[in-house]
Amino acid sequence: MTGREAARVDVLPVRGGTDGRPMLGETPLLITGVAARWACCTDWGLASLTERMGDVEVAPFVTGEAARNTVLKQVNATKTMTFGDALAHLFGERRIVDGSLYLRIGAAERGYEELARDFTVPDVGAAYRPEATGVWFSQAGNVTPGHHDWWHSFLIQVRGAKRYTLVHPLDTVNLQSAWQDDERYDLAPAPGLSLAAQPDWSGEVRYEGVLSAGEILYIPPFWVHEVETLTDGNISIPMRFSTTQSVSSDLHQLSQNGLLRDVTNRPTRDVGAITELLRRNREDFLARERAFVRVLAEARDIDIDIDLAADLAADLDTDLAKDLDTDLDTGIDTGIDTDLDTGSGADRRPADPRYDGGATR
């Protein structure tokens, strides 16, 4: 399998695809010719930024000294210093700390308004989220591990280059099948997504390429993405816009994607069988919840009763069974043999290898 880069276009996508422009939310895009003339792309460098804002206090993340260093706010510590010192280290001019730095200046932080004078917020037909915009400074080897966001994301590359890997949202379950629990719940760095890291990955949609200075990478909502910095003195600007898209599951979606589908596909009125399916569905969810609570407690060194949620759910199960007896017991039994067929609730579905002892593997 070879890597395939996102489609190159010379215009920004827009909601609804008006005026012949690409449609917002449809697919990742690499956009050229839009940001290259912005002042941030033509004027920002070590000397100019130091002169303008060198005395501003910042707190960059400090990473390790390996060739590839994960940047994850749950993992990396920060160190307070002046923007001038941070820039000197980021550009390789002078070492300030052991390891590398990764600096984010968010919209609410000192210095952002000065930097924001030099770039434009484009019109893409969606509400701009200024609180989710910032300016990122990084060094070669910095890696933002695989994750997804809830908005339309535009990554403007101001200086240097970054390698990106994007995976379709519907490939997420397959992608995470070998992840550990703390990796799955963003409490530890996710495994690499790139072709080099996973040459035998069996998913269907993965894009990989290099984002160069003056270009913009559009990442639709919920696409899993990993970004690696390739050069020192690297600067990029993430801009985010609201979306109407959602991965929240209503009852219909659950009925099509989980154990509940066994109920909707067969018109049984067998209260015992329905209750059994609901119990198994809840056990499946609670297994995931237990795994999350366990790794959260380990990551934050706190004491949480992992069985508490299960105890609460057991109470809910009792109430649910009473409600079902009241609302559904019409005395009619279709006689449909199920995992619903005899009312026994026996589960004849093939075992799912992703679920093992309560953890997705």
Helices (H), the chain: 39-43, 46-53, 83-90, 112-116, 172-175, 181-184, 251-257, 261-264, 271-300, 308-328, 338-341
Please determine, for residue 350, whether its predicted confidence score (pLDDT) is greater than 70. Answer: no
Which range, 9-23, 268-282, 306-320, is most confident? 9-23
CA distance 198 to 196: 6
Choice among 46-60, 96-110, 175-189 with the minimum mean pLDDT: 175-189
Of 247 and 105, the one with more pLDDT: 105
pTM for this model (two decimals) = 0.76
Instruction: State the pLDDT confidence band at 277, using cuts at 50, 70 and 90.
Output: confident
Report helix, strand or coil for 225: strand
Quick one: pLDDT at residue 311?
A: 64
Please determine, for residue 313, whether its predicted confidence score (pLDDT) is greater than 70. Answer: no
Quick one: pLDDT at residue 278?
A: 82
C-alpha atoms less than 13 angstroms from C-alpha of 115 in its C-beta half-sphere: 27
Backbone angles phi, psi at 122, to 5 degrees: -75, 160
19-43 pLDDT, tens digit each: 899 999 999 999 999 999 999 999 9
Please determine, for residue 61, whether its predicted confidence score (pLDDT) is greater than 50. Answer: yes
Show the tokens assigned to 50. Answer: 């130091």
Show the tokens assigned to 148. Answer: 């997804």
108-117 pLDDT, tens digit each: 999 999 999 9
The β-bridge relationship of strands 29-31 and 216-219 is: antiparallel
Choice among 66-70, 85-89, 228-232, 346-350 with the minimum mean pLDDT: 346-350
C-alpha atoms less than 13 angstroms from C-alpha of 83 in its C-beta half-sphere: 23
Torsion of CA 154, 157, 162, 163, to 10 degrees: 40
CA distance 197 to 174: 15
Quick one: pLDDT at residue 136?
A: 96
Q: How many CB atoms lie within 10 A of CB 106?
A: 14
What is the gyration radius of the CA atoms in the chain, in angstroms?
Answer: 25
224, with CB counted inside 10 A (0-12, 13-18, 19+), is: buried
Torsion over CA: 122, 132, 38, 41 (sign): negative
The answer to whether 89 and 96 have CB atoms below 8 angstroms apart is yes
160-206 pLDDT, tens digit each: 999 999 999 888 888 887 888 888 777 777 888 888 888 887 888 99
Please determine, for residue 348, whether its predicted confidence score (pLDDT) is greater than 80. Answer: no
Q: What spatial distance separates the first Cα and last Cα of the chain, rounded to whole Å?
A: 24
- H or E element: which one contains 8? strand 7-9
Q: What are the contacts of 350-359 at 24+ separation with CB within 8 A?
A: 353/177, 354/173, 354/177, 355/284, 355/287, 357/287, 358/286, 358/287, 358/288, 358/290, 358/291, 359/181, 359/287, 359/288, 359/291
The answer to whether 277 and 259 have CB atoms below 8 angstroms apart is yes
